[in-house]
Amino acid sequence: MRKHSAWIFELLLRVLLPARGRHRSTDALPAVGCADAPTLALPRVPARESGLLRGEDSALIRPYVLTPEEQQEQRLRRGRRRALWLATYGVDSGPRWIHGVEVVS
């Protein structure tokens, strides 16, 4: 029974799937050849000296380290963005202090 199932399955695959492409019909047009494009020749750049790096040659700046002023500005900006995002959902995250008095929500 397995042999018959495999035979039927193979016939269905041959009917449904296209040929692999290695068989061409006799009336097919010949393949058109194209000339090779010229290869781009990049100029050779000589390598730098293979010496050791000195500490004076590189800047010791870490872009992810922020000054306290930058951290405060980033914290305020984050708070404003959060208030706008909550406002889109109808949540009022207004000021906690009004005229020196703490407001309880």
Integer Cα distance of 17 and 10 in angstroms: 10
Contacts of 92 (CB under 8 A, 6+ apart): 86, 105
pTM of this prediction exceeds 0.85: no
Q: What is the pLDDT of residue 50?
A: 63
Integer Cα distance of 45 and 92 in angstroms: 61
Q: What is the pLDDT of residue 28?
A: 61
Q: What is the mean pLDDT of residues 71-76?
A: 93
First to last CA, the chain: 77
Q: What is the mean pLDDT of residues 37-52?
A: 74
Integer Cα distance of 2 and 24 in angstroms: 33
> Tokens 């047009």, residue?
29
pLDDT at 19 over 70: no
